[in-house]
């Protein structure tokens, strides 16, 4: 069984969502990225999104865009990112998925990317810019390799299209909580609960909610309808302080912040 499938089987048996965290590979460095991953896991993160930096992201807000810029300034190669990822996955109970642009996958070669990511210990990929109409070849390769292809559904996705996306998705559905780009929010729209509730009646896939989640009250609001909650910008913003603060202080701040959100699931 794929590690993602195993995670969400456990999640449903215990009746509490998984906590997932996003980080950008190479920010502030590849070695420090893996230190952050281990700190997140120690704080209770059960699923890691390992973001592959890209020069033209489609849905990422200024915090994550800035992290991409810092990572790309180091002229990192995909092979270096996956090699470094492979050095940490063996020490993790949490499955790792890459958040990666389809442009990168296509340039690398669909089958080659899936096999390389899998060899590095990744259990799947979130591909935000892959339209469902064009996802067939990638979906077929992922099925063959038992590698999850995670796709996004947004509040503006028509329901018939949402069902088509769900049919092509494996691992879990990434439900985008708000329209627009990633970033911390003070409030989340209450209609998320109804939207996810409807989607849950249409598919047996786990549903993870991301974009904007940054506070314990967000976690408590969404926990009853979600199989997983994803926090990104709030963590990446804390990572961005690495150039100004001692390394241990930054790791402790990230761990304490995540532990507070994980505690809100109880």
Q: Which candidate in 27, 35, 60, 227 is catalytic?
A: 60
82, 116 contact by CB (below 8 A): yes
Q: Where are the alpha helices (DSSP H) in 15-91?
A: 30-43, 62-72, 78-89
Would you give the distance in Å from CA 184 to the centre of its chain? 15
Mutual angle of helices 30-43 and 78-89, in 10-degree steps: 40
d(CA 254, CA 29): 16
**Segment (H or E) for 250:** helix 247-263
Q: Is there a catalytic annotation at residue 146?
A: no
- Would you tell me how many other CB atoms lie within 10 Å of the CB of residue 179? 10
137, 110 contact by CB (below 8 A): yes
Q: Is there a catalytic annotation at residue 129?
A: no
Residues 6+ apart with CB under 8 A from 264: 216, 217, 219, 220, 223
Pairing relationship of beta strands 122-126 and 96-99 according to DSSP bridges: parallel
150, 126 contact by CB (below 8 A): yes
Nearest-5° angle of CA 160, CA 162, CA 166?
A: 120
Q: Which candidate in 5, 27, 46, 49 is catalytic?
A: 49
Show which residues are catalytic. Answer: 49, 60
């Amino acid at each position: 069984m794929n590690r993602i499938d195993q995670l969400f089987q456990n999640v449903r048996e215990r009746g509490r969502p998984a906590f997932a965290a996003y980080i950008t590979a190479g920010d502030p460095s590849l070695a420090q990225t893996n230190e952050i991953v281990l700190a997140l896991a120690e704080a209770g993160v059960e699923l890691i999104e390992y973001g592959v930096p890209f020069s033209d992201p489609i849905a990422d807000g200024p915090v994550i865009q800035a992290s991409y810029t810092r990572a790309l300034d180091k002229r990192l190669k995909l092979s270096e990112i996956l090699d470094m990822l492979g050095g940490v996955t063996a020490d993790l109970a949490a499955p790792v998925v890459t958040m990666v642009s389809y442009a990168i996958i296509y340039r690398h070669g669909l089958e080659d990317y899936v096999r390389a990511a899998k060899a590095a210990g990744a259990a799947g990929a979130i591909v935000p810019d892959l339209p469902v109409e064009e996802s067939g070849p990638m979906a077929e390769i992922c099925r063959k390799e038992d590698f999850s292809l995670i796709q996004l559904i947004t509040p503006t996705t028509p329901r018939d299209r949402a069902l088509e996306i769900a049919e092509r998705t494996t691992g879990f559905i990434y439900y985008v909580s708000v329209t627009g780009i990633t970033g911390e929010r003070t409030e989340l729209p209450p209609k998320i609960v109804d939207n996810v509730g409807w989607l849950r009646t249409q598919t047996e896939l786990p549903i993870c909610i991301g974009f904007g989640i940054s506070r314990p009250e967000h976690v408590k609001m969404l926990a009853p309808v979600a199989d997983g909650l994803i926090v990104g910008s709030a963590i990446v913003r804390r990572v961005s302080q690495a150039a100004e603060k001692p390394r241990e202080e930054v790791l402790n701040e990230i761990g304490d912040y995540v532990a507070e959100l994980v505690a809100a699931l109880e």
